[in-house]
């Protein structure tokens, strides 16, 4: 997750011509590609009133209400970042917060009807898969193998970063 709500800088970053890219380390290429896909995805999601980070939250809440802490943990972001995401979604009427009956110090976040409608519209439109798949295929990559590799990378690195108790 990472857009304005996640505290990343906005504004264009010049990427050098292809021959200079050949000199970049793989990690830099991967992180730059991720940011560029993220920005393109956010542009595509704008028509639904979502960003990629809001889409993640809507998807998580579509299963069941959750606390801000739980959403942050499951999204891999800080609670403060999740708070910014939720404030934006609340302003758009996509989520609602209510005090947790079991622990009045916490609030439970619920996806509202407009939030569910936005999520369903994105999913009906392919969830942005067409955008990402198009980018991958334009790069002459096997989309399914590329996706499987990404799943493996995210799975291994997230297990190392956030070990299960």
Higher pLDDT, 158 or 95: 95
- What was the pLDDT predicted at 106? 85
Question: For residue 164, is pLDDT > 50?
Answer: yes
| Residue 50 near residue 3 (C-beta atoms within 8 A) | no
- What was the pLDDT predicted at 13? 58
Q: How many CB atoms lie within 10 A of CB 136?
A: 18
| Residue 159 near residue 152 (C-beta atoms within 8 A) | no
- What was the pLDDT predicted at 10? 46
Question: For residue 165, is pLDDT > 60?
Answer: no
**What integer best gives the mean pLDDT of the chain?**
82
Calculate mean pLDDT across residues 21-48.
83
What is the rounded distance in angstroms from the CA atom of residue 83 to the CA atom of residue 5?
9
Q: Which domains does the chain have, with CATH numbers?
A: 48-125 (1.10.10.10)
Burial class (CB in 10 A: 0-12, 13-18, 19+), 58: buried
> What are the strands of the beta sheet with 107-111, ordered from one edge?
66-67, 107-111, 95-99
């Amino acid at each position: 997750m990472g857009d304005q709500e996640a505290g990343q800088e906005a504004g264009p970053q010049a990427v050098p011509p292809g021959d200079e890219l050949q000199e970049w380390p793989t990690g830099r290429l991967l992180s730059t590609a991720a940011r560029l896909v993220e920005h393109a995805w956010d542009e595509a999601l704008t028509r639904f009133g979502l960003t990629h980070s809001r889409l993640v939250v809507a998807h998580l809440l579509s299963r069941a209400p959750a606390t801000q802490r739980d959403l942050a943990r499951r999204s891999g972001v800080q609670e403060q970042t999740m708070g910014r995401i939720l404030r934006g979604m609340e302003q758009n009427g996509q989520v609602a917060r209510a005090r947790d009956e079991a622990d009045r110090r916490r609030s439970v976040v619920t996806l509202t009807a407009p939030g569910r409608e936005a999520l369903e519209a994105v999913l009906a439109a392919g969830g942005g898969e067409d955008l990402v798949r198009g980018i991958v295929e334009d790069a002459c990559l096997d989309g399914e193998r590329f996706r499987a590799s990404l799943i493996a990378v995210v799975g291994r690195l997230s297990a190392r970063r956030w070990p299960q108790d």
